[in-house]
C-alpha cells in the first residue's frame, strides 16, 4: 500500500507512524509553509522532485539550521535517508526550488563532505535520525533511490506587494521589502520630510509613488538675478533621507563701488551692491560727472555702466594779459577749472577798464571778462582863439604821453558829440536804448531784455562814456535750466538738449525695462520757467490676471509682486489627485501666464477583472469610474470562502490596495489521523474542503470513538466530530494585553496537533513567532508572542519651536500625541497637534515655524534705506537704518525694527531740507540804502537750495556779492551786500598854462592879453563845476 505522509511545520509526527497532515487555517485565511514526505516508495532524485512538484510546490529548500533541527525532529527514520532540494549545477550547489546558490550560513555538511566520492555525486541527502552526524548532509549520486521531503509554499501573489520578496518561514512567511519600501506587505513607500520652497527661486517635484516619498525628486531653479548655491536636484532615498540638502538662491552681487572724489555715491540697495541695486553720482558744487551719472547691478553681476568720476568744471582759457598790463592766476584744482582765479594789473600811467579779478564759477564761466588797460586821460585841451593846436597822441587823445603844440590860425573848430561802438542785441534778446544826443552817442543808456526761456547774464544796462567806451560789457541771454532728472527704477532715460543739458526746450523720453510699464507721461519738456512739463514717470511691474483657486488642490506662488511679471505659481494637488498638464506657470512680460493653469483630477486605477469563479463583485465610484476612493466588495457562493481581501480600494498611487481574490471551497479543519489509525479521504473540490469525505479505521487494539465517515459541510464543519484514539493535551494559553488568541483544535482544546496564533489589536504588531502548536510531548512548539505598539518616525523639534508629547504606549508609538508651538515672533504653519496612528504613521505632516512678517518699507523721499534681515525680508528681527541725502536731515528716529507682533517699532521718519537763517532787509548791513532782494526756494523758505539775488538803485552800486545760496550745511555762501553811492568825477583843475606863457617871448601886452583869456576860461570852468549835472550826463567812474 502506498503511504504518503504530510506534516505541518508545527506538527511532530511519531517516527513509527505514517502521517499525512496538512494544517491550513480557514477562518482568517492564514497560510503556512508546510513540509510533506514520502517514505512508501524510494525514488531517484529526479523522480522524487517530479513527485514533489506534482503534489506540492517543490523539493524542500532549507534556509537555516533551525529548519534542519525541526526536520530531524518531525521526520521518521528511513534506512535510505531523504533527498533534499540541493543539486550541483555548473560546479555550484544550488537550491533548485528557489534557484538560489547555497548560502554558507545554511550549510550543514557532514565531516569531510562533500567529497564527490566515485564522481557524479551531484545530489544531496540528509541523515535524518542517524546515530552519527544526525541531520547532516552528504553528496550522493542522483540515481540512487531514497525517500523525499517536499514543501508546500505559503506565499502567494496577494501575500506581499510588488515591492517585496515573499520569504517562507516555518509556520509563516515574511515580506522582505525592497529598498525604499515599508509596511506589513511593503506596500508603502518610505517617506521623506517635506521640502519648503526656496526663497528667491522655485522648485518642481515629481512623485512617482506618493508625495515626498522614495524616488520622489525635486529640481530647483532661481529667479533672475539669483544664483543657486548647492545641488539643483535632490532625491528621496531608500532610507527616507534626501540625497542633498535644499539649495539656497543667493542674490547676484556686483563688485563694491569705491568712494568718488568731489562727489557722493547714492544707492538704492535691496541688498548692498547686489542685483537690482541702482547707484547714481551727485557731484560737489563746481564739479560734474564725466559720463552717465547712474548705473545698476545687472543679473550677470556686472554694473551696467562704468561708474563716472567728478571732474572740476572747466572754464575756457583766458586770452593773454591786457596790453600794458599783466595777469596772475591760481588753479587749486586744475588749469582754468572751478575755483581758479586770475588778477589783472596795469603798468604805471594806465588805468584798468573792467574788473580787477575774475573767478571760474560752477557754471564753467568766468565771473568777469578780461579787462583792458587804457592810458590815463587828461582833460581835453581847448584850442585858443586864432591858434592851431597840434598834438601827438601815441596812446590816445589827451592821454598819458600825449604832447600838444599851439599855433594860431583859423577860427576855433566846433565840438561834436562822442559816439560809442554800435551794440547788437544778440540771439534770444532785444536791445532798448535812450539816445538824447544821437544813437549810441555820449550819454546813451542801453539795456537788454531776454526772450522766454532765457535769463540775463551780466549787468542789465550800460551807457556810452565821454571816452567813447561803454561803461559795462554788454550782457548775454543764457538759456534757463531745469533740475536734472534721473531714470526711474527699472527704466531708461533718453534726452535731446538743443540748447544745453536739461535746459529750455530739452526733451526727455522715459522707457521701461522688460516686464514693466510706464506710469505717467513718457515725454518731459523743460519749459521757459525752468520747470519740467510733468513729474518724472515711474516704471510699474506688469501684472497678470489673478489665478483662481483650484478644486482638489492648492496653488502656491513665488511673487516678488503678487501675480506680476516674474511671479511663478505651481499646483499642489490634494492626496489622491494629480495635475493634468504642466504643474507650473509664470507671468510673462506681456502680462499673460506662460501656461494655462492645470486642474487636479482623481488618480485612475486600471479596470478590475471579472468577478471570481463561484463569486460576485460590487463597486462604488464616488469620483469617477475606477478612480481614487473607488471601492469594490467581493462575495462567494455558499460553501466557498474568499481567498484574499474581501474588498479593495483605489489608492492615491493609482493601484488597487488588493488584487481580485478567488473563491475556494470552504475548508474544513484538517483531519488528524489518530495514532494507530488510517484515514482515507475523497476530495472533489480540494483536500479537506466542501464535499470532502473521510473514512477512519483504527488498528487492532484501538477502538474508534465517533463516526466512521466524516463529511465537510458548506459551513466549513465536519458532519461529526473527528474520532480519536487517545489524545495528548498541552497547557492552556492566554491571549495577553492588546491581543486575541485563535486556535485550530482538531483533537480537542489545546490538544496534540492544536495550532494557535495571536492577532494584535489596531496599532500593535506581533513580537515573536506568530504561531505555536501542541506537540506529541504535550509541549508548545514555540514560546507565545506578545503585542507591541507600532512605532512612528521620531519627531524633530522645529527651528524656533518646541514639541511636547505624551507616550501612553512607548515613545513615538501608537497613541502618542504631540503638540507643536512656536517661539515669540514666529508663526506656526501646519497642524499644531498630530497623533501616531494605528498604521505607525503621523496623522499629519509636522508643522514648522516661520518669522512674523512686517509691511515692506521704501526709502523716504530725498533719503535712503538700508536693512538687515536675519530670517526673511521685512520679518521679525529685521532692522532698517534710514538716512537723508546731502542737504536734508532726518525727522524722527533713524532706526526701525520689526517686532514679534509683525509691526514696526515706530512710524516712518522723513527727510526735511536743511534750513538757513531767514534773510530780510532789516538784517542787511546798515551801510547805506538796502538793496532789493529776490529769492527762490525749491525746498522751502530759506532752506537748502534757496538762492537770493540783490540789486541797487540806478544811482547806487552793490557792495558785496549779488547772489547768496543756502548750502547743505545750513549757512549762506556769503554775507548780505549793501548799496553805496557811486563816486563823482573831479574837475581836471587848472591846467598848467604857465608852460605855454613861458614859451611865449611876446611882450607884456601879449602877456596881458593871454592872462585875460586865461581868467575868462577859468571863470567858465568853475561855473560848469558848480552847476548840477543831469543824471544821464554823469560819467561812470572806476
974: Cβ–Cβ under 8 A, 6 or more apart, which residues?
Answer: 960, 961, 964
CATH of domain 801-851: 2.10.70.10
Distance CA 956, CA 958 (A): 7
Name the band, by pLDDT with cuts 50, 70 and 90, for residue 692.
confident
| pLDDT above 60 (res 16) | no
3-class SS of residue 70: helix
Between the CA of residue 270 and those of 267, 279, 867, 936, what are the distances in Å?
10, 12, 8, 36
What tens digit of pLDDT does each residue of 40-61 get? 889 999 999 999 988 888 898 8
Cell of 270: 535691496
Nearest to 539 by CA among 502, 587, 489: 489
Distance CA 1036, CA 769 (A): 129
Partners of 226 in the β-ladder: 251
Distance CA 602, CA 654 (A): 9
User: What mean pLDDT do residues 917-935 have?
Assistant: 72
DSSP designation for 853: B
3-class SS of residue 552: coil
N residues, the chain:
1038
Distance CA 929, CA 831 (A): 84
| pLDDT above 80 (res 245) | yes
Name the band, by pLDDT with cuts 50, 70 and 90, for residue 854.
very high
Domain boundaries in the chain? 5-175+666-706+717-731, 188-251, 384-413, 420-476, 553-602, 732-789, 801-851, 863-912, 921-981, 984-1038
Least confident of 19-23, 424-428, 933-937: 19-23
**What's residue 817's pLDDT?**
94
User: What mean pLDDT do residues 751-767 have?
Assistant: 84
Between the CA of residue 540 and those of 216, 518, 564, 992, what are the distances in Å?
39, 6, 10, 87
| pLDDT above 70 (res 234) | yes
Q: What are phi and psi of 775, to 5 degrees?
A: -90, 175
Alpha carbon of residue 614 to chain centroid: 62
Domain 420-476, what fold? Complement Module; domain 1 (2.10.70)
**What's residue 999's pLDDT?**
43
User: What mean pLDDT do residues 862-873 have?
Assistant: 88
Q: Strands 662-665, 693-698: parallel, antiparallel or unpaired by DSSP?
A: unpaired
Q: Averaging pLDDT over each range in 144-148, 594-598, 607-611, 957-961, which range is the top one?
A: 144-148
| pLDDT above 90 (res 388) | no
Q: Helices (H) and strands (E) in the chain — how many of each?
A: 4, 73
Name the band, by pLDDT with cuts 50, 70 and 90, for residue 1.
very low
863-912 has CATH 3.40.720.10 classification: no
**What's residue 125's pLDDT?**
94
767: Cβ–Cβ under 8 A, 6 or more apart, which residues?
Answer: 785, 786, 787, 788
Domain 188-251, what fold? Complement Module; domain 1 (2.10.70)
User: What mean pLDDT do residues 284-300 have?
Assistant: 85
Exposed/middle/buried for 320, CB within 10 Å: 0-12, 13-18, 19+?
A: exposed
Name the band, by pLDDT with cuts 50, 70 and 90, for residue 601.
confident
Handedness of CA 524, 526, 528, 529 (dihedral sign): positive
Q: 277-301 as b/e, with b when 16 or more CB fall inside 10 Å?
A: bbbbbbbbebbbbeeebbbbbeeeb
Distance CA 152, CA 897 (A): 76
Cell of 600: 487636479
Q: 19-45 as b/e, with b when 16 or more CB fall inside 10 Å?
A: bbbbbbbbeebbbbbbbbbbbeebbbb
**What's residue 363's pLDDT?**
87
| pLDDT above 50 (res 973) | yes
Strand stretches in 458-588, DSSP E: 461-463, 476-479, 491-496, 507-512, 516-519, 523-525, 538-541, 553-558, 568-573, 577-579, 584-586
What tens digit of pLDDT does each residue of 456-498 get? 888 888 999 988 898 888 888 888 899 888 888 888 889 998 8
Domain 553-602, what fold? Complement Module; domain 1 (2.10.70)
Distance CA 789, CA 467 (A): 122
Distance CA 867, CA 269 (A): 9
97: Cβ–Cβ under 8 A, 6 or more apart, which residues?
Answer: 57, 58, 59, 60, 61, 85, 151
1022: Cβ–Cβ under 8 A, 6 or more apart, which residues?
Answer: none
Partners of 697 in the β-ladder: 678
The residue to which cell 488618480 is assigned: 603
DSSP designation for 362: T
Cell of 768: 515573536
| pLDDT above 50 (res 977) | yes
Cβ–Cβ under 8 Å, residues 625 and 573: no
3-class SS of residue 875: strand
Distance CA 22, CA 241 (A): 45
The per-residue pLDDT of the chain, averaged, comes to: 82
**What's residue 241's pLDDT?**
92
User: What mean pLDDT do residues 762-782 have?
Assistant: 83
What tens digit of pLDDT does each residue of 50-102 get? 999 888 888 988 877 778 888 888 889 888 899 999 999 888 889 887 788 88
Q: How many Cα atoms sit within 13 Å of 1029 on the Cβ side?
A: 13
Handedness of CA 740, 741, 744, 749 (dihedral sign): negative
User: What mean pLDDT do residues 285-297 have?
Assistant: 84
| pLDDT above 50 (res 379) | yes
Q: What angle do CA 562, 567, 572 make, to 5 degrees?
A: 95
Find the DSSP H helices in 645-696: none
User: What mean pLDDT do residues 170-188 have?
Assistant: 82
| pLDDT above 70 (res 32) | no
Name the band, by pLDDT with cuts 50, 70 and 90, for residue 527.
very high
**What's residue 412's pLDDT?**
53
The residue to which cell 483536500 is assigned: 687
What tens digit of pLDDT does each residue of 1005-1028 get? 666 666 666 666 555 444 333 333
Strand stretches in 944-994, DSSP E: 947-951, 956-959, 963-965, 978-981
Q: Quick check: bond before 803 cis, omega within 30? A: no
Strand stretches in 761-900, DSSP E: 764-767, 771-773, 786-789, 801-806, 817-822, 826-829, 833-835, 848-851, 863-868, 879-884, 888-891, 895-897
Least confident of 179-183, 577-581, 967-971: 577-581
DSSP designation for 398: T
Q: What are phi and psi of 569, to 5 degrees?
A: -130, 145
Cell of 1035: 560819467
| pLDDT above 60 (res 18) | no
| pLDDT above 80 (res 157) | no
Handedness of CA 601, 607, 612, 617 (dihedral sign): positive
What tens digit of pLDDT does each residue of 533-551 get? 999 899 988 889 888 888 8
Name the band, by pLDDT with cuts 50, 70 and 90, for residue 880.
very high
**What's residue 816's pLDDT?**
93
Out of 3.10.100.10, 3.40.190.10, 3.30.450.20, 3.40.50.300, select the CATH number for domain 5-175+666-706+717-731. Answer: 3.10.100.10
Partners of 570 in the β-ladder: 556, 584
| pLDDT above 60 (res 995) | no
Domain 921-981, what fold? Complement Module; domain 1 (2.10.70)
420-476 shares its CATH topology with 921-981: yes
DSSP designation for 111: T
Which pTM does this prediction carry?
0.32
Cβ–Cβ under 8 Å, residues 291 and 306: yes
Q: Which helix (H) or strand (E) holds 933?
A: strand 932-936
Q: What are phi and psi of 1004, to 5 degrees?
A: -60, -30
**What's residue 765's pLDDT?**
84
| pLDDT above 50 (res 759) | yes
732-789 has CATH 2.10.70.10 classification: yes
Amino acid at each position: 500500500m502506498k503511504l504518503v505522509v504530510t506534516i505541518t511545520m508545527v506538527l511532530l509526527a511519531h517516527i513509527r507512524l505514517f502521517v499525512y497532515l496538512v494544517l491550513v487555517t480557514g477562518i482568517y485565511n492564514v497560510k503556512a509553509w508546510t513540509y510533506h514526505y514520502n517514505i512508501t516508495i524510494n525514488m531517484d532524485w529526479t523522480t522524487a522532485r517530479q513527485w514533489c512538484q506534482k503534489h506540492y510546490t517543490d523539493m524542500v529548500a532549507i534556509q537555516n539550521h533551525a529548519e534542519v533541527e525541526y526536520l530531524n525532529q518531525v521526520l521518521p527514520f528511513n534506512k535510505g535517508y531523504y533527498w533534499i532540494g540541493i543539486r550541483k549545477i555548473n560546479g555550484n550547489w544550488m537550491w533548485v526550488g528557489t534557484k538560489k546558490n547555497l548560502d554558507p550560513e545554511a550549510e550543514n555538511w557532514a565531516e569531510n563532505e562533500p567529497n564527490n566520492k566515485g564522481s557524479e555525486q551531484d545530489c544531496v541527502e540528509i541523515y535524518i535520525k542517524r546515530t552519527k552526524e544526525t541531520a547532516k548532509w552528504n553528496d550522493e549520486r542522483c540515481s540512487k533511490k531514497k525517500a523525499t521531503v517536499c514543501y508546500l509554499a505559503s506565499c502567494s501573489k496577494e501575500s506581499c506587494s510588488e515591492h517585496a520578496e515573499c520569504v517562507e518561514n516555518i509556520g509563516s512567511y515574511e515580506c522582505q521589502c525592497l529598498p525604499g519600501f515599508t509596511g506589513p506587505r511593503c506596500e508603502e513607500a518610505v517617506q521623506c520630510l517635506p521640502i519648503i520652497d526656496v526663497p528667491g527661486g522655485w522648485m518642481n517635484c515629481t512623485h512617482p509613488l506618493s508625495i515626498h516619498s522614495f524616488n520622489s525628486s525635486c529640481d530647483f531653479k532661481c529667479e533672475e538675478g539669483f544664483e543657486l548655491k548647492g545641488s539643483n536636484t535632490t532625491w528621496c532615498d531608500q532610507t527616507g533621507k534626501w540625497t542633498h540638502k535644499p539649495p539656497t538662491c543667493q542674490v547676484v552681487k556686483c563688485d563694491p563701488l569705491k568712494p568718488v572724489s568731489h562727489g557722493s555715491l547714492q544707492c538704492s540697495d535691496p541688498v548692498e551692491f547686489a542685483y537690482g541695486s541702482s547707484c547714481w553720482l551727485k557731484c560737489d558744487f563746481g564739479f560734474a560727472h564725466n559720463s552717465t551719472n547712474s548705473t545698476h547691478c545687472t543679473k550677470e553681476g556686472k554694473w551696467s555702466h562704468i561708474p563716472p568720476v567728478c571732474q572740476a568744471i572747466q572754464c575756457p582759457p583766458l586770452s593773454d594779459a591786457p596790453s600794458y598790463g599783466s595777469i596772475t592766476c591760481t588753479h587749486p584744482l586744475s588749469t582754468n577749472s572751478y575755483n581758479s582765479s586770475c588778477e589783472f594789473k596795469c603798468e604805471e600811467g594806465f588805468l584798468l577798464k573792467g574788473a580787477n579779478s575774475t573767478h571760474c564759477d560752477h557754471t564753467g564761466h568766468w565771473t568777469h571778462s578780461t579787462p583792458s588797460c587804457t592810458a590815463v586821460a587828461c582833460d581835453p585841451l581847448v584850442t585858443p582863439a586864432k591858434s592851431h593846436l597840434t598834438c601827438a597822441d601815441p596812446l590816445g587823445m589827451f592821454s598819458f604821453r600825449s604832447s600838444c603844440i599851439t599855433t594860431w590860425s583859423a577860427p576855433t573848430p566846433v565840438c561834436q558829440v562822442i559816439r560809442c561802438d554800435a551794440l547788437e542785441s544778440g540771439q534770444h534778446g532785444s536791445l532798448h536804448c535812450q539816445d538824447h544826443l544821437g544813437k549810441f552817442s555820449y550819454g546813451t543808456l542801453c539795456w537788454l531784455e531776454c526772450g522766454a526761456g532765457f535769463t540775463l547774464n551780466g549787468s542789465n544796462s550800460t551807457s556810452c562814456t565821454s571816452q567813447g567806451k561803454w561803461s559795462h560789457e554788454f550782457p548775454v541771454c543764457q538759456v534757463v535750466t531745469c533740475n536734472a532728472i534721473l531714470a526711474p527704477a527699472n527704466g531708461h532715460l533718453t534726452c535731446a538738449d538743443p540748447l544745453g543739458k536739461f535746459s529750455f526746450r530739452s526733451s526727455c523720453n522715459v522707457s521701461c525695462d522688460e516686464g514693466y510699464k510706464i506710469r505717467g507721461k513718457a515725454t518731459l519738456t523743460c519749459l521757459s520757467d525752468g520747470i519740467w512739463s510733468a513729474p518724472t514717470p515711474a516704471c510699474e511691474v506688469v501684472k497678470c490676471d489673478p489665478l483662481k483657486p483650484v478644486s482638489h488642490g492648492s496653488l502656491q506662488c513665488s511673487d516678488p509682486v503678487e501675480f506680476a511679471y516674474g511671479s511663478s505659481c505651481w499646483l499642489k494637488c490634494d492626496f489622491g489627485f494629480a495635475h493634468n498638464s504642466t504643474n507650473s506657470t509664470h507671468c510673462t512680460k506681456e502680462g499673460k501666464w506662460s501656461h494655462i493653469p492645470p486642474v487636479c483630477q482623481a488618480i485612475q486605477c486600471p479596470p478590475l477583472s471579472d468577478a471570481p469563479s463561484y463569486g460576485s463583485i460590487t463597486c462604488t465610484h464616488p469620483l469617477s469610474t475606477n478612480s481614487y476612493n473607488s471601492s469594490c466588495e467581493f462575495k462567494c457562493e455558499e460553501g466557498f470562502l474568499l481567498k484574499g481581501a474581501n474588498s479593495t480600494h483605489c489608492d492615491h498611487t493609482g493601484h488597487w490596495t488588493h488584487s481580485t481574490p478567488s473563491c475556494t471551497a470552504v475548508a474544513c479543519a484538517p483531519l488528524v489521523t489518530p495514532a494507530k489509525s488510517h484515514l482515507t479521504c475523497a476530495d472533489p473540490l480540494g483536500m479537506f474542503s466542501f464535499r470532502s469525505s473521510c473514512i477512519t479505521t483504527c488498528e487492532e487494539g484501538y477502538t474508534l470513538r465517533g463516526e466512521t465517515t466524516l463529511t465537510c459541510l458548506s459551513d466549513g464543519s465536519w458532519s461529526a466530530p473527528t474520532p480519536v484514539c487517545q489524545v495528548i493535551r498541552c497547557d492552556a494559553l492566554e491571549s495577553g494585553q492588546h491581543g486575541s488568541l485563535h486556535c485550530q483544535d482538531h483533537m480537542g482544546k489545546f490538544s496534540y496537533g492544536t495550532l494557535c496564533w495571536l492577532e494584535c489589536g489596531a496599532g500593535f504588531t506581533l513580537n515573536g513567532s506568530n504561531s505555536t502548536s501542541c506537540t506529541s510531548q504535550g509541549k508548545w512548539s514555540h514560546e507565545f508572542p506578545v503585542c507591541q505598539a507600532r512605532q512612528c518616525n521620531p519627531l524633530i523639534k522645529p527651528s524656533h519651536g518646541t514639541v511636547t508629547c505624551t507616550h501612553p504606549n512607548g515613545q513615538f508609538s501608537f497613541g502618542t500625541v504631540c503638540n507643536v508651538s512656536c517661539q515669540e515672533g514666529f508663526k506656526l504653519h501646519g497642524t499644531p497637534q498630530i497623533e501616531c496612528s494605528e498604521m505607525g504613521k503621523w496623522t499629519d505632516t509636522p508643522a514648522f515655524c516661520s518669522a512674523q512678517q512686517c509691511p515692506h518699507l521704501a526709502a523716504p523721499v530725498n533719503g535712503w534705506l538700508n536693512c538687515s534681515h536675519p530670517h526673511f525680508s521685512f520679518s521679525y528681527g529685521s532692522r532698517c537704518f534710514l538716512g537723508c541725502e546731502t542737504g536734508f536731515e532726518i525727522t524722527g528716529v533713524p532706526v526701525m525694527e520689526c517686532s514679534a507682533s509683525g509691526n514696526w517699532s515706530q512710524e516712518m521718519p522723513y527727510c526735511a531740507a536743511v534750513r538757513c537763517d531767514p534773510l530780510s532787509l532789516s538784517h542787511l548791513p546798515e551801510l547805506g540804502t538796502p538793496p532789493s532782494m529776490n529769492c527762490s526756494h525749491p525746498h522751502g523758505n530759506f532752506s537748502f537750495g534757496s538762492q537770493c539775488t540783490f540789486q541797487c538803485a540806478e544811482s547806487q552800486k552793490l557792495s558785496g556779492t549779488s547772489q547768496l545760496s543756502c548750502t547743505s550745511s545750513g549757512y549762506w555762501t556769503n554775507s548780505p551786500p549793501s548799496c553805496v553811492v557811486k563816486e563823482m568825477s573831479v574837475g581836471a583843475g587848472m591846467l598848467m598854462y604857465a608852460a605855454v606863457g613861458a614859451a611865449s617871448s611876446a611882450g607884456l601886452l601879449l602877456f596881458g592879453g593871454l592872462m585875460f583869456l586865461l581868467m575868462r576860461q577859468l571863470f567858465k570852468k568853475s561855473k560848469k563845476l558848480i552847476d548840477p549835472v543831469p543824471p544821464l550826463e554823469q560819467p561812470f567812474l572806476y
